[in-house]
Structures are given as structure tokens and as C-alpha cells.
Structure 1
Amino acid sequence: MMKHRSSLADSPLLKVSRPVSACSRCRSAKVKCDNKLPACTACERAGREKECTAANDQFARGKERSYVAALELRIEKMERRLAYARSTKDAIALHGPDEPTSTNTGRKDSLAFIRAAIHRKAARTQENADINTLVSDFGYLAVNTTTRDFEPSESNMTFARLVLAASTNEPVPEPRTTNLPAEATARALVQVYETIVLSLYPAFPGATLHALVSDIYQEHPRHIRSSEYWMFWMVLAIGSAAQSRSRLDEHYANAVEFVGCALPHADRALKPGYVTQVQSLLLLSQYSMLDPAHFNSWHPIGFTCRAVVDQGLHQDPPQVQQIDQDALETRRRTFYCVYALDRAISMVQARAFSFYDDAVSVALPAPVQPGASALSSGSQNAKPSPDSSLPLFKLRQLQSDWYQTLYQGNPTEPLADATSFIWQKYYDMWDWSERLPTDMPAAIREMLDLELRYSYVYCIASSARGAQVSAYGRSLIFEHVISYIDRIHDIANQGTNPALYTYHDALRVFFMGSQFFSVLRDAGDLLLSGSPIPMPQTAPGKVSPPPQPVRLDRGPGDNLDRSLRCLERVKLTLRLYGERWEDALSLMKGFDQISAEVWTNLTNRRAMRNAAAAHHWQPAPGA
């Protein structure tokens, strides 16, 4: 018999830490607001007293809306709809659901059933809308994610159920079996996770993961907590999904099965107030990037950031507080893993960060020492790889700096000397790339190089507060996009995934292709002519533009041929990613539409060039 699943809107029991009265800036940054008038302390420290809206926005003092009041209003509305549905049920159906169906079913009876079905569908749609509204209200309510005094039940709304309701695109099907996979299979997937994901996001030690696998597969295992089962199944899911090349292959099917096995442990794994909650949410965010069909990565990372802020992980403990150095380093690594993912997901979706950099006061962690397990190193004599997470964290800090200024600042206030600002950030990222360890794994280094070129283009591209892109800036975008697309196209065609490439890489390909289309549309004649574009003269005291990057593509032809090849590879790469993520096919169709005119112009220009070359060519005498 199927187990009845209670509605997510039944008897929610989340608690609140205080009435909602944060100013709009603190709500956006997801930091605590002391509501001091005329400007809160956070806005005063940031020098944005005039932007503080605590005195006049919809949640100002005197207009507080408590969480309980909001839920009571929601329940009242749903009860009225339920009463209305019950009152109209007898008028719609000619017989009840428990009564035998009439043998004389005529046109009138059929129409009644159709009307009943329509009303049932409308009721389900309304219930889903109510839940979505409740979830959206979560962003405006001061729900305390550190509360520990509630227990999950069949009817209450737990934090985990709220997270899953907000994050789920399509429900994960029930697993066909909850039996453990073969131990060799589990260890192989753990090794994939450790190599591809944990090396960049070391939110927990690899040794802890290997010890957990050993404990689970013991003949008489110790008591395994729900948070540990969640970690085990989600790591297997991420490791399997990271190897997938198609949404129809076995790797993806297994990943969905493993997630289905993890979900029954969600209530306790995501229980607020513990570091395991942050780690569990981080695993959900990582998996969401690999499976956009079932989860939207924007919501899990938002909840993760909220948990980080509520637990105070965005601030180092005061010096007077005695804390073990290993615990401090683990705390810092956990924070920067969340920080790095939040910046990456927000940028690729063109959204605001979950919190501002000025709310963060956490030193970078010490380099992670490689584990001593056999799975962590190929052999006992293998040279340990350098820590790859620190370079990633530093790059995210650089990206966060210019992204907040160019894309999250007030668009009505143009940035003073935006050109010098952009070139300085370009140099900062170039200097970061020059300091990368020479013995870094090749696959990680290649992924970071792609991230660097994506960042160059993103920083130079037109923004609300940036300067108008110059012809020289367009030439830089032109070269960086071609190098990026050539390499990501080759990676997409490889038989294996050498590093952590997710659906977000399809979004990056679309973004880079769109920027390429834009520069060809705005300065196509100049770029296609092949004539060198002189570097703009810089006034004394200003930052000069960077030099042109070295051309890396070795394909034949001039800039016209390179441009056509780049546009074609954008579509081919999105088509390949479409085999893995269906949404990438929509990106491909969208890019095909916006670039159609430029593509036609370029192909016509090439035809005219080839025709002119054939007309001027004369055969040698006697040939």
C-alpha cells in the first residue's frame, strides 16, 4: 500500500529568532540587522547610511510581520479554499468516490467527471502555488536555521522539507532498491568524488569519507547517523553523475537512485544548528549542478549560505575564544567551500550574491595536506599534489570583488574611472594565474584556465556601471572567447570528464557565445579585417590596458574563418551538453536564433571572398 505523503503546508513548525525588521540591504546580504535608526550598524560600517531602508520599507518598525502570523494567514486561506472545494463537490459529482460507478453512464455523467477532474487539477495547482508562495516568503522571514528543538514527523514542516520543496524541479523517483551497492563500486565512486570534487571543495577530510565507507561495510557496523548516510549516498550520487555523458546512461540512472536513497535521511541530515547541516546542504548544491532536471542549484546554495551566516561561520572566532587549530581550519575550509560555490552559481545565473564581502571576516585556510590512504594516492611513492582549493578560493575572491562593483552596485551611479578599475582587476587575475603551482594536476589547471578566460570576458563586457567597451576591449573578448570555446569543445568531446564540469559549463558556453556574437555585431568589420587594433593611450596615473593574449588556436584561416568556426563550435558544444542536460538544448536553440543574422552575414562574406579569390586566380602556362 502506498504511503500517504502529507502536504508540505501542513502544520509547519519552524521557529523564528525575532520579528522581521531587517533593512533591505541586510536582507539581501543575509546578515543580521540591529534595526538601529536612522541607519543600522551594518549600513553605517559599509558607509551606506543613505541606502538603509529600516525606517521606511515594508518591514520597518511598526510594520513587523511575524513568521507565525504569516503561517496563520496562509493556513486560513487554505482552509477557506478547502471548505469551498468540499461545498462544491456534491454539486459537481453525481456519485461519491466510494460509491459504485453508475452502470448507465451517459453524456451528463461524463461531463460531471470532466468538471470534477478540472476542479481537482485546479486544487492541486493552487496547493502547489500556496507552497511556492510560502517558500518565497521564506526569503523575507527571519527563520532561525540554528534551532535544534524540533523533531520531524509525518505532518510538520521541517527545514529539510522546506529546502527540498524550494529546490526540487522534478520529484526524484523512489529508488528501486535501498540495498548498498557492492563495496568496490562504492569505493570507486568515492575515489571519483575525492579526485574531482573534494580536491576543490574540501568541506570535510577525505579520511573521514573513507572511514565512513569502511564502517558501513563492516559485518557488524556501528550505529551510522542519518547525516553520515546522507553524506555516503550523496557522495556516491555526485561521483556517478560526474562521470555521466548522457542523461540516458547508467551513470546518471545510478546517480538518481543514490539520491533517492539519501532523501529519507534529509530531515536529520539537514537539521539546523550543526556543521553537518552546512556540509549536507553543500552536497545537495554540488549534486544540483550536475542534475538540473531534478534540482535548481540556486536554492540549495542560498539555504547553505543562510545556515553559514546563522551559525557565524562567516566570521572567525574572536582571539579571546580558545579554539583548536584543526577545528579552526576545518571551519574556514567549510566556509570558503560555500563562498566559492555561491560566487560561481550566482555569477553564472547573473544573480546577486547571498552575502556581501564586507560581511565576511574569515582568513583563508592553510593548505590541505594530502591524505595517507591508498585511495588518495596512486602509490606510497606517489608525489602528493598541491592543494587545488586555495587557488580556487583566491580566484573567487577576485571575481567577487569586481562582480559586486560592476553588477551589484547602484546602476544609477556610474563607476568613477571604470576603465582603470576593469584593467586593474584584469591584471589582478592575470597575476593570480602566474602564481598557480607548476605541479598542479593538468585537468585542474586546465579548468582554472577556462575559468580565468571566462572571468576576463565577464569583467570586460558591458555592465550597468562599467565604461563602454572600446574596440580594443572587444578585440580582447574576441581572442579569449575563441580560446575558451576551442578548449571546452574538445573537453565536451572527450570520452571521460577529466574534472568537475557541470550544467553551469553549458551556461558559460552560452554566455561566451553571446559575448562573441555581440562583439561581431558591434565591431565586426574591424575585427574581421585582421588589422592590429592599437592599444589606447593612457593618461598618467591611469592603469594601461593589458596586452593582447597569445593566439592559441591552430586552425587555418583568417579571423573570418576563426569566427565561423567559433560560432559553429558553440552550437556543437551545446548540442553535446544537450545529451547530458536537456536544458542545454534550449540554450543551443536560443543561441542559434540570436546569432542567425551574424552567421548569415559571415557566410555570405566568406562566399564573396572565395569567389573573388577564384576570379583572380590564373592557371600557370602549360598547366
Structure 2
Amino acid sequence: MLHSSLVDSPLLKVSRPVSACSRCRSAKVKCDNKLPACTACERAGREKDCTAANDQFARGKERSYVAALELRIEKLERRLTYARSTKASVALHGPEDHQTADPGRKDSLAFIRAAIHRKAARTQENADINTLVSDFGYLAVNTTTRDFEPSESNMTFARLVLAASTNEPVPEPESGNLPPEATARSLVEFYETSVLPLYPAFPGTTLHALVSDLYQERPRQIRSSEYWLFWMVLAISSVGQSRNRQDEHYQNGVEFVARALPHADRALRPGYGTQVQSLLLLTQYSMLDPAHFDSWHPIGFACRAVVDQGLHQDPPNSQQISPDALDERRRIFYCVYALDRAISMTHARAFSFYDAAASVALPSPAPASGAVAAGAMTKPSQDASVPLFRLRQLQSDWYQALYQGNPAEPLPDATSFIWQKYFEMWEWSERLPPDLPSTIRELLDLELRYSYVYCIASSARGAQVPAYGRLLIFDHVISYIDRIYEIASSSANSAFYTYHDALRVFFMGSQFVAVLRDIGDILLSGSNIPVPPQTPGKVSAPPRPVRLDRSSGDNLDRSLRCLERVKLTLGLYGNRWDHALALRNSFEMISSEVWTNLSTRRSMRDGAVGARW
């Protein structure tokens, strides 16, 4: 996981009201825009004359206000582009510190200068973002407000989302034609088997019906939200199959996104049911193409839209709604919830909303649907979304307690709390449906091991990790890295693996290095680390996981192999994402001392064995 600049996680502030009511404006007094009447009008007994309660802009100022915003956006975009071009890639343990400072001299003048420069840059970025966001006024506060009709001169919600989310501009599309129908159906099928089982924000039948309509000789009138759905699904599926940022899959994906962007104004406009699904598609693509989009912003906008539309609460019993419609509503909420939790944890940031603010029951499993291709029905994809949603709930519970609580108030019994959460996640894994596809089950198993390590690792509110906890981290990291290395080395993606998996690999490798630094001598000597004795009334420590790499040697060989595979995996991911190469370089720096010590130890061991022979 990476540290993020304030550009990537701004402190959003609600600005002063955009306009005063007509009475306060004529009297030139401060108006607080209180509803249903402002305080000044209320005190004067003129509540009925308070005319601006529902006005979005002061009369006569709409065009000038928007023009001023657009000019300011243009200036700030240039400044942010320059800041991003000069900003070094950062990681959870501060890789930029290693890149700018001499590792042997933490107090060097170069290190001090670099720290001062970074602090000044972050301060300036913070001021820029806060000023920009505050100037959007009401538009940034309520995502259910209907936009103006899109034009070249006004600011829409979609343009705000794209301005905040875009890292590099997407090139203009090269073609205006639809891809061959066989290509479109193949990409839709990939999405249906790899992404839709995890995030069923819309039925698979909707995709196939849309493709059929688009490729008719005389297609019906297609809405902008449908074009957005079509092109974004093709983009996600194409980039999802890419193995190199120069290959045809990636180039096609960028082309498909370029074809989708002209439909963004209407697809993302607030107050419409397709808004959240459209934001989810943008988030999914952003997770695969961090060069062009930052996933943190679109998922934040999606969460705000969910809350503003009331999807974070189940409808009251008095409201008549069909079971299918209720399940669809719940699935949309949990798709946003699951992605928000995953992205926030990966970047070590706060969730967009607390669990206590939401009250939505888990949906029923989505109906399986097979893709129709060449007159044959492909095998239906088993829905894995409900198990994933449940895991996200378990992760959210301990993450909020360990990482989002007040650091000045440690948990009363952090160790027992962690063992309890560990047991709940293990219990979840034991209840997984037996008929899940092997690729989806493998992805969920990796997510489970990542969660084990994340939960046990040190936190601001947790207790010091005991030796047995570090042993569990040691075992789970090795199993995780062995499997993710094989997946990264594969010739094709088997499931929805994204740039965030590179961040997870760096995190797991960093935790592995920390364990070797703390108890490396105990682990490598073969000394036994017993399971902590159970305290009456407390949750017992979990058993050590079954070792899967029996043929890989002792703990010394396993450690060197794991460290090597972390670097190899990040190198493979670097073929797809430039940021992964920065992660690999940073990991090489933080692990260099441990690697040297382990290599020396192995040379001495092998030399002693050779001398005996």
C-alpha cells in the first residue's frame, strides 16, 4: 500500500452558500441559506419572502460563475499536472524517502531538503484542492441534483468526476465504428465470467440484449447510459486481459474508454438510476488503468451518490417493492460498499462511510446467466458476490476498530479482538459454496490470507504483535506470494486482478521483511514458537496453517524464495503498470539488508555441509 498525496485524498470542505436570498442580497447582509428560510428573514418576520432557498445560483450570475469555475479548473489542472509529473512514487513505508536520501545517512542534508520540499508540495496541493472543491458549492454537496443540459460552456457532475479522477488525458478515439460483433461478445463474456460474479451491479442479460440491439441492421434508439455501459464493459474486459501496457489488449481498452467518454455527461448525471452503475464501471476501469484514472475519486463519488439516493438504507416495510427490485437495489449498494472497502484498505485510507451509517441486508445470490454465442449457451457463472460482500463486512469491522479509531484510546484487549476476527474470517472461508469456480475461489483465498496478515499486523490501536502472530504472518505471506507469483506469470488473467494486487504484494512483502527483522533468528534456527495458552473467557489463538510448500526446503530457503518472488511479481506487474516498478525498486531497498544477511547465512550453511562431505 502507498502513502497518498493530498491531491489523491483531499480534505473535502463544503463551501459558503453560492447565493444569498433576494432580501439579504438587496440589504447586503450575510445570508446563511438556512431552510426553509434564512435566519435574517426569520428574525425579521419575512419567512415567506426568503426566495433563494431553492435557487442554485444567484440570478444573473449563472454564466459568470460557471465561467469563473472553468477558468480556475483550467489553471489548477495545469498546476496539478506539473505537481504529478514531479512527484515521486510513494509506498506504505515511505519509498520516496529511500529514493531521495542516502540509506546510510538518515540525517543527510539531501534527506532534509527532500523532506522540506515534499512538505511544501503537499501543503500547496492541499490548498489547491480545498480551494477548488469549495468553489463547486452546491454541486459538490448534493449528487442528486439534476445537471444543466450539457454544453461546451457549463460544468456538469460528470465533468467534475472526470476532472478529479483523470491522471493523464485519454487520447482521442481513432475510429467511430463498432468493433466486430464476435469481438464484442467475447469481451462481454470475459466480463460476465471474471467481474460480474463478484460485482453484479446489473444483470448479465442486460449486456447481451444491448449487444444484440447494437448489432441489428436497424438498431433501436440507444441511450447514452447504454453506450457508456457497452464501451466501459469492453474497456474493462480488454484491459483486464492485458499483460503489457504496449499490447493490443491495452491499446484497445484505451480506445474503448475514449469512445465511452463522450457519453459521460448523461451516463453520470445525478438523479438517475444509472448513475451509480456508471460510476462503478469507471471505478473498475480505473483499478486496471492507473496511468489514466485514479480509482480513489470515482469510488468516493459513487459512495456519495449511494448515500444521496438513499441506497444505504433498506426501504421501510410500508414501501411496496418487489423482491427482485429489492435485491437489485441491495446488490448495487454492496458493489459500491465492497469496492470502497477494498480500495480504502489497499491505500490505508478511511472508508467513505461507517458501517453504522448503513442498514442494508445482504442480497440473495444473483441468478446465473450464460452467454449466448454462436447459438450455444455457455456454462453459467456461479455468483460469488454474496460471499465477497460478507468478507468485506468482516474486514470493515476490524479495520474500523484497529485503524480508524482514536489512536489515543487503545483497545482494551487487542490480542483477543484480533484472534476473534481471525476466527470469524476462517469460519467464513469454511462456509464458501463448494461449487464456486476455481479461479474465483483462488481469488477469495488470496483475499483471506491478505486479510489475516493485515488484521494481525501492528496498528495504532492494537497490541504489540506476539511472536506467534509473527509466525502466522510468515506462513500466510509465503503462501500468498507463491500463488500470486504463479498468477502474475500466467499467460492470461483468470479473474479480476488489478493494479491493487501489486500494492498488496508490496504490503505483504513489507510485512514479511518486518517479521524477519524481528524474529528472523528464531524462525531460521528452527526453534519452536508455541501457541499462546488459552486464557479462560478469552478467544484462543488460531492454529498454524497447513504448510503447502513442503518441497521448498527449510525456513531459510523459503524466506529467500519468498523475497525473490516478491521482486519478480512486482517486476511482472511492472510490465503493465509503471507504478509497480517503483514498488519493486522500493522493496529492493527495504529488503536489501535482510536479503544480504539471509544470503550470507545460506552460503555459510552450504559451505559447512560441503566441508563435511
TM surpasses 0.5: yes
User: SS of the residue aligned with 1:334?
Assistant: helix
C-alpha separation in 2, matches of 1:563 and 1:311: 50
Matched with 2:200 is 202
What's the offset of the Cα at 1:538?
A: 2.5
1:569 to 548, 565, 580: 565
Q: Distance in 2 between matches of 1:609 and 1:139?
A: 65
How do residues 329-340 of structure 1 correspond to structure 2 at under 5 angstroms? 329-340=327-338
- Aligned position for 1:165: 163
Tell me the equivalent position of 2:221: 223
Matching residue within 238, 241, 252 for 2:239 = 241
| Distance in structure 2 (CA, Å) of the matches to 1:616 and 1:416 | 54
Which residue of the partner structure matches residue 594 of structure 1? 590
In the alignment, what sits opposite 1:542? 538
Query: Does 2:449 correspond to 1:449?
Result: no
State the AA in 2 paired with 1:404. Q
CA distance in 1, matches of 2:147, 2:584: 48
Corresponding position of 1:463: 459
Aligned partner of 2:180 in structure 1 is 182
Whole-Å separation in 1 of the counterparts to 2:533 and 2:137: 49
Match of 1:123 in 2: none
Give the C-alpha shift of residue 150 in structure 1.
1.8
Letter in 1 for 2:592: A
The separation in 2 between residues aligned to 1:138 and 1:394, in whole angstroms, is 39
Q: Which residue of 2 aligns with 1:434?
A: 430
Aligned match of 1:527: 523
AA at the equivalent of 1:280? S
Q: Is the 8 A contact 1:301 1:341 kept in 2?
A: yes
> C-alpha offsets along residues 275-323 of structure 1, whole Å, 9 cap, x if unaligned?
2000000000000000000000000100010100000000001111111
Structure 2 residue runs without a partner (length 5+): 1-13, 20-33, 36-54, 76-123
Q: How many angstroms apart in 2 are the aligned matches of 1:539 and 1:316? A: 41
Deviation at 1:550, TM superposition (A): 0.3
One-letter identity of the residue aligned with 1:222: R
**1:545 & 1:299 partners in 2: Cα distance?**
39
**For the residues of structure 2 that align with 1:519 and 1:128, how far apart are their CA atoms?**
36
Distance 2:604 2:325 in 1: 68
Deviation at 1:199, TM superposition (A): 1.0
Against the structure 1 CA distance between its residues 545 and 74, is the aligned structure 2 distance closer, same or farther, given a 3 Å change threshold? farther
Distance 1:570 1:273, change over 3 A: same
Q: Give 2:572's aligned amino acid.
A: L
The alignment partner of 2:141 has SS state of: coil
In the alignment, which of 254, 257, 272 is matched to residue 255 of structure 2? 257
Amino acid in the other structure paired with 1:261: R
Residues 535 and 128 of structure 1: CA distance in aligned 2, closer, same or farther (over 3 Å):
closer
Q: Normalization by structure 2: what TM-score?
A: 0.79
What residue ranges of structure 1 are gaps of 5+ in the alignment? 1-13, 20-33, 36-65, 83-126, 618-623
Do the aligned partners of residues 163 and 134 (structure 1) sit closer, same or farther apart at CA in structure 2, a change above 3 Å counting?
farther
Q: What is the CA distance between 1:379 and its match in structure 2?
A: 4.2
Tell me the amino acid that sits aligned with residue 287 of structure 1. Y
Equivalent residue runs for 1:96-107 within 5 Å = none
Q: Does structure 1 residue 397 correspond to structure 2 residue 393?
A: yes
User: What is residue 317 of structure 2 aligned with on the other side?
Assistant: 319
Q: Equivalent residue of 1:198, what SS?
A: coil
How far apart, CA to CA, are the structure 1 residues paired with 2:286 and 2:585?
A: 23
Match of 1:88 in 2: none
Report the AA paired with residue 612 of structure 2: H
Moved more, 386-395 or 608-617: 608-617
- The aligned runs of 1:359-378 (5 Å cut-off) are 359-371=357-369, 373-374=371-372
Structure 2 CA distance for partners of 1:158 and 1:16, relative to 1, 3 Å: farther
Structure 1 residue 136 displacement after superposition: 4.1
TM-superposed CA distance for 1:129, in Å, is 10
State the match for 2:146 in structure 1.
148
Task: State the 1:611 CA deviation.
Answer: 1.5
Q: Residue 16 of structure 1 contacts residue 67 of structure 1 at CA under 8 Å; is this kept in 2?
A: no
User: Quick one: structure 1 residues 134 and 304, their matched pair in 2 at CA, closer, same or farther if it must change by over 3 Å?
Assistant: farther
Letter of the 2:260 counterpart:
A
Matches of 2:402 and 2:373, distance apart in 1: 44
The alignment-based identity, stated in percent, is 71
Q: Within 5 Å, give how 1:341-420 maps onto structure 2.
A: 341-371=339-369, 373-374=371-372, 379=377, 382=379, 384-420=380-416
Aligned to 2:552, what secondary structure does the other structure show? coil
Equivalent residue, structure 2, for 1:497:
493
Q: CA deviation at 1:582?
A: 0.9
Using the TM superposition, give the Cα deviation of residue 475 of structure 1 relative to its aligned residue in structure 2, in angstroms: 0.2
1:226 is displaced (CA, Å) by 0.4
Go from structure 1 to structure 2 and tell me whether the alpha carbon gap of 1:323 and 1:376 turns closer, same or farther (over 3 Å shift). Answer: farther
Q: Which residue number corresponds to residue 574 of structure 2?
A: 578
Per-residue CA distance 1:388-429 (angstroms, 9 max, x = gap): 111101100000000010001111100010001000000000
Q: What is the deviation of 1:531?
A: 2.2
Pick closer, same or farther for the CA change 1:428–1:254 going to 2, 3 Å. same
Counterpart in 2 of 1:272? 270
Deviations 1:11-68 (A, max 9, x none): xxx999999xxxxxxxxxxxxxx99xxxxxxxxxxxxxxxxxxxxxxxxxxxxxx996
Aligned residues: 513
For 2:16 and 2:318, the matched residues in 1 are separated by 30
Q: Distance in 1 between matches of 2:137 and 2:513?
A: 39
Q: Where does residue 309 of structure 1 map in the other structure?
A: 307
Cα deviation, residue 75, structure 1:
3.8
Shift of 1:518: 0.3
Please report how far the alpha carbon of residue 615 of structure 1 lies from its aligned counterpart in structure 2 after TM superposition. Answer: 2.1
Would the aligned equivalents of 1:528 and 1:559 in 2 still touch at CA under 8 Å?
Answer: yes
| Alpha-carbon displacement from aligned partner over 1:420-460 (angstroms, at most 9, x marks no partner) | 10000000000000001111100000000000000000000
Counterparts in 2 of 1:138 and 1:376: CA distance versus 1, 3 Å: farther
Alpha-carbon contact 2:327-2:364 (below 8 Å) kept: yes
